[in-house]
Amino acid sequence: MKSLLVVTAVLSFQNAYAAAALVQIDVGACFMEDGNGNEIVACAPGVTGCDSTYKIKQKVTTQSANGTLKFTCVVDNVPNDTGEAVIYNLANTGSVCTIRDPLTGDIRPADVWQQTVSPDGTSILFCQAHSL
């Protein structure tokens, strides 16, 4: 006599972040400070309404399966008249970096961030918002 084995699995997702990781490249704009403390806006290719002076060299937003967001934006030709690297972060500015959640569209504050503007004008902004 043959037996039939039936296995039933019940899947339950706790939140929207149970999906696979999501990566966005060169989408939108980056808001940052130049090396002299002035706010600038840099745009990804094809984005309108931004100052054309600052073009994003690379912008990547990733979202892991556990909901952690990581944002990196690299911009060239950013003014820096100090002759040295300038570093901005929460501790020395009191400002918060925010990241638009690519799944929900919500704005999430980063709990870790740093921007470095090199003497040659390359600015790298990194922000990370851990899962909710």
What is the predicted pLDDT for the residue at 45?
Answer: 74
Indicate the residue type of 57. K
What is the predicted pLDDT for the residue at 43?
Answer: 81
Under 8 Å between Cβ of 20 and 65: yes
What is the predicted pLDDT for the residue at 81?
Answer: 97
Tokens coding 99: 């990241």
Q: Which helix (DSSP H) or strand (DSSP E) does residue 109 occupy?
A: strand 107-109
What is the predicted pLDDT for the residue at 69?
Answer: 87
* Assessment of whether the complete model's pTM goes beyond 0.85: no
Q: Please tell me the distance from the alpha carbon of residue 104 to that of residue 107, in angstroms, as a whole number.
A: 9
Residue 112, beta-bridge partner list? 128
Q: Can you list the residues of the chain whose pLDDT is less than 50?
A: 1-18
Q: Please tell me the distance from the alpha carbon of residue 121 to that of residue 70, in angstroms, as a whole number.
A: 23
